[in-house]
Amino acid sequence: MAPLLTLDDLHVAAADGTPILKGVSLEVAVGEVHALMGPNGSGKSTLANVLLGNPDYAITAGGIRFKGEDLAALGPNDRSVRGLFLGFQYPEEIPGVTMLNFLRRAIGARKDFDISVLEVRISLMEWMERLGMDAKLADRYLNQGFSGGEKKRNEILQMALLEPDLAVLDETDSGLDIDALRQVSEGIQEVRKERPDMGVLLITHYQRILQYLSPDVVHILVDGRVVESGGIDLVEKLEREGYDAFRAGGPEPVVAGTAR
């Protein structure tokens, strides 16, 4: 079976030509959770944006394949319809658009058929209960007036209803207190129970979320390169020694944590 996601020596530059990613290679298989960790400025959020087709970045070498398909020619909508999901680090507020109406449109586009308001509301209420969310939020404008924790749980709610094959979660843990972090992490696990084949690429520079979500593979991204990939022991090393232990001449990048 082909991997869900393959990054092959991916090089990416900003609009002004500044290189940001400098040869990233990894694979995410069906049902796997991968943690991509790195300090601020290492290129983590750039990678998330490139995966979903943000036009502010250009692939200058290498490529991205999703379920065996080259993504280079596909825009954000086409990638989303094919089963890619991005959970934003800073979810946008959209005045005038209720969460219910937003999800109805998004689910219809994902499944390529119209879905009734009643169907969406039933699924929405079910998942809001499972995620411990206030049902009143369904009729509020998307993220407007939501707390930081509510916005992040709303991202997980969208992930549940859109049923992606691969979820890219860009620093979903940022700005959360201990209780909100636990709730968001439990929400991710609840969705994975429903969709065990869904792959997850969790982008973070904290270790604390990995106390709740145990990754199959951990990748350390420093200065635009994956300098090391492996198991949970890398998180323990990071806890002891910090990112400085990975900065100076780390080992060759490896794919999916296996030695070459």
Q: Any idea where the domains of the chain sit in the sequence?
A: 5-247
Q: Is 251 helix (H, G, I), strand (E, B) or coil?
A: coil
Identify which has the larger pLDDT, 249 or 204. 204
Q: How confident is the model at residue 174 (pLDDT cuts 50, 70, 90)?
A: confident
Question: 124-147 in b/e burial notation, b at 16+ Cβ within 10 A?
Answer: beebbebbebeeebbebbbbeebe
For 144, 165, 209, the CA distances from 94, given in Å and listed in that order, are 7, 26, 28
First CA to last CA distance, the chain: 20
**What are residue 14's DSSP bridge partners?**
57
CATH class belonging to 5-247: alpha beta
pLDDT of residue 115: 87
Model confidence at 146: pLDDT above 70: yes
Distance, CA of 129 to CA of 102 (rounded, Å): 19
* Mean pLDDT of the residues in the chain: 90
Strands 33-37 vs 199-204: parallel, antiparallel or unpaired: parallel
Residues 178-195 have a mean pLDDT of 93
DSSP assignment string, 197-238: T-EEEEEES-SGGGGTS--SEEEEEETTEEEEEESTHHHHHH
Model confidence at 12: pLDDT above 80: yes
The phi, psi pair for 130, rounded to 5°, reads -65, -30
